[in-house]
């Protein structure tokens, strides 16, 4: 199968790394400029950028950018990933904002933020070998 990479996937990879570094730094320093809600959003942006970089590198895009849609797109390439599926589903519960009639936002606790950052690290660890060229989809 010939994969046609989508341009600028490296930018998404770089941005995802930077978002995650920012979220981790702000959380560790207990920066007053970053509420738990803001840390949730920055961490989710990191995850979204990393997943999109992986997908774009492999000539694909997610249908939407909810954690569920990103998971579905990842599974098209990596197969069943139950541990990651559970974690992305957990993240999706904090903001359900696609439908204005059922708009839900749950303000996360500091413990939740710790979990968010751990999930982002798991996603980063999963995708890094592919994004750095150490592993290809044909060898997963």
* Sole residue written with tokens 């936002």: 105
> What CATH number is attached to the domain comprising 71?
1.20.120.330
The domain containing residue 89 runs over which residues?
A: 9-135
Q: Note whether residue 45 is domain-resident.
A: yes
What percent of the chain shows pLDDT beyond 90?
77
Indicate the number of domains in the chain: 1
Q: Note whether residue 4 is domain-resident.
A: no
Mean pLDDT of 56-66: 91
Q: Note whether residue 78 is domain-resident.
A: yes
Q: Note whether residue 2 is domain-resident.
A: no
Q: Note whether residue 23 is domain-resident.
A: yes
Q: Note whether residue 129 is domain-resident.
A: yes
What percent of the chain shows pLDDT beyond 70?
89
Q: Let me know the angle formed at the C-alpha of 20 by 87 and 68, rounded to the nearest 5 degrees.
A: 30
């Amino acid at each position: 199968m010939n994969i046609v990479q989508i341009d600028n996937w490296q930018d998404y990879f770089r941005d995802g790394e930077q978002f995650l570094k920012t979220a981790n730094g702000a959380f560790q320093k207990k920066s007053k400029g970053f509420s738990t809600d803001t840390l949730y959003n920055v961490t989710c942006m990191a995850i979204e950028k990393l997943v999109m970089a992986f997908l774009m590198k492999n000539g694909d895009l997610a249908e939407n950018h909810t954690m569920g849609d990103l998971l579905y797109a990842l599974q098209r390439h990596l197969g069943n990933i139950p541990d990651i599926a559970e974690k992305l589903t957990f993240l999706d519960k904090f903001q359900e904002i696609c439908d204005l009639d059922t708009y839900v936002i749950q303000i996360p606790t500091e413990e939740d933020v710790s979990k968010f950052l751990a999930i982002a690290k798991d996603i980063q660890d999963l995708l890094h070998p592919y994004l750095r060229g150490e592993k290809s989809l044909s060898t997963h």
